[in-house]
Amino acid sequence: MEFTAGMIARILNGTVEGDPETKLNTVARIEEGKTGALSFLSNPKYEPYLYTTDASAVLVRNDFVPSKEVRATLIRVDDPYQALARLLAFYEQAKPVRKGIHPTAVIDESATVGPDVFIGACAVISENAVIGDGCSIHPQVFIGENVTIGKNCTLHPGVKVYRDCVIGNDCIIHAGAVIGADGFGFAPVSDANFMKIPQIGNVILEDNVEIGSNTCVDRATMGSTIIRRGVKLDNLIQVGHNVEIGENTVIAAQSGLAGSTRVGRNCMFGGQVGLAGHLSIADGVRIGAQSGVMSTISEENSILLGYPATDSKQFLRSVAYIRRLPDLSSKVDQLSKTVESLKNR
């Protein structure tokens, strides 16, 4: 599929600086640009590549002023990164949509399957499941009993959705994710063994949720584990039973949320963040990578780092002191020697 710089500028409500007839047939990072490629400049530290890239066109901010001559055609937009996302979404929508049911798919006669659905090879749709209009159920997906899936959802190969779970509209679940496995509930008994607590709740994903590959969202012991509208979870995340994640929160890979924790709206967690159970996290909280949260965070829009997680400025001051410890230790040793010398006199 080929576009001109002028066509792309019209799609993005941008302007062209250079040749509007520049032909574009692919996208590439600015440091790897080649003829026919569209790149983008969002982070200022990549600006040097703008003057050396072989990309035919580059998305830049409206107010960007180059410090050298630029060979590529510039397409000026309000936000290059957002513009690229819109352009890629436009490209994705232009692809032909797969429809139809593969002959090896197993669909229980009590299940309800909407129109314009794709169901791939060896997928299993269990009793009383409901698949909404326009969904794509890829090969080897398992949909359990009484599961409800809304419209225009995509479940990639190997996704497992256990019984009674509810998935909203326009959700994407990537390969290997498990929705609704048992929560980690065990009661100690007198002989030092553990008795399994039945997990009789479910999982609810609201609209426009995206779940990364091999992420696990456990079903509630009672009630529901709830992932609110617009939440984005990266790969390899563990969400414990009865957790609730607020609207438009994003969580990076390898994070873990212990049971019954409540996360507010518009939060951002870096990779490998760990949250203890039964906590509340206020709206807009940002937590840096590898931080461990041991207590409730009540202040909205706060920024935390470290283990245990603390105010980011306080944490950075602590790190600065830690870096000085070897020098301070040497000075203390020297002072101790001086004091001993004075005592001996």
Q: Is 174 annotated as catalytic?
A: no
Q: Is 115 exposed, middle or buried (0-12, 13-18, 19+ CB in 10 A)?
A: exposed
Beta bridge partners of 149: 131, 167
SS3 332: helix
Which residue is it, tokens 């931080």?
A: 291
Cβ contacts of 201 within 8 Å, gap of 6 or more: 183, 219, 220, 221, 222, 223, 224, 225, 241, 242
Q: Which residues are within 8 A (CB) of 316 and not within 5 positions of it... i.e. 6 or more apart?
A: 305
* Dihedral class, residue 63 (left if φ above 0, else alpha if ψ from -120 to 50, else beta): alpha
Is the separation of the CB atoms in 62 and 85 below 8 Å? no
Could you tell me how far CA 62 lies from the centroid of its own chain? 29
Choosing from 138, 174, 241, 278, the catalytic residue is 241
As a whole number of Å, the end-to-end CA separation of the chain is 89
Name the packing angle between helices 80-94 and 5-12 (round to 10°).
100
Asked if residue 226 lies in contact with residue 247, where contact means CB atoms within 8 angstroms, the answer is no
> Are 240 and 224 spatial neighbours (Cβ–Cβ below 8 Å)?
no
Which among 116, 151, 123 has a CA at the least distance from the CA of 137? Answer: 123
Q: Tokens 């901010």 belong to which residue?
A: 61
> Which residues are annotated as catalytic?
241
